[in-house]
């Protein structure tokens, strides 16, 4: 029986941790959490993406950004959140094709697609 979603992992190029921390920690406001010592040497970084869900960014030497697959973040006050992203230089693309939701898409600094919805 599945009881929830523990984490989502996105790939990133080796050496991109600084820009990922600035984006996910600074722009998005997620709290970075330490990787276990046994995994820390692999690179990447982890963040809390909700009370019971984490976002893992792992490095991949053959990195190609996820242009279709994506995590979807639930947010409050989505228009203010979109302004936050654009103020930090991240373009947002609104999409009204999901009934009952306001949502937009954006891309992280290494090109991974992200969805934000309310």
Number of Cα atoms under 13 Å in the Cβ half of residue 79:
0
Asked if residue 58 is part of any domain, the answer here is yes
Q: Distance (Å, rounded) from C-alpha 47 to C-alpha 24?
A: 8
The structure's pTM equals: 0.94
Among 39, 43, 71, smallest CA distance to 55 is for 71
Q: Domain of 112: which CATH number?
A: 3.10.180.10
- The tens digit of pLDDT for each residue in 8-55 reads 999 999 999 999 999 999 999 999 999 999 998 999 999 999 899 999
Asked if residue 72 is part of any domain, the answer here is yes
Asked if residue 66 is part of any domain, the answer here is yes
Domain of residue 47, residue span: 7-117
Asked if residue 1 is part of any domain, the answer here is no
CB-CB neighbours of 103 under 10 Å: 21
State residue 101's pLDDT score: 95
The count of structural domains within the chain is: 1
Residue 95's pLDDT band, with cuts at 50, 70 and 90, is very high
Asked if residue 78 is part of any domain, the answer here is yes
Asked if residue 2 is part of any domain, the answer here is no
- Mean pLDDT along residues 79-84: 96
């Amino acid at each position: 029986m599945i009881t929830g979603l523990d984490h989502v992992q996105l790939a990133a190029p080796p050496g991109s941790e600084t820009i990922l921390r600035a984006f996910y920690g600074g722009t998005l406001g997620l709290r970075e959490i330490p990787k276990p010592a046994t995994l820390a040497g692999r690179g990447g970084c982890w963040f809390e993406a909700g009370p019971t869900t984490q976002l893992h960014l792992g490095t991949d030497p053959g990195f190609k950004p996820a242009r279709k697959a994506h995590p979807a973040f639930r947010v409050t006050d989505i228009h203010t959140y979109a302004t936050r992203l654009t103020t930090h230089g991240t373009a947002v693309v609104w999409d009204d094709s999901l009934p009952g939701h306001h949502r937009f898409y954006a891309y992280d600094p290494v090109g991974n697609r992200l969805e934000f919805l309310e």
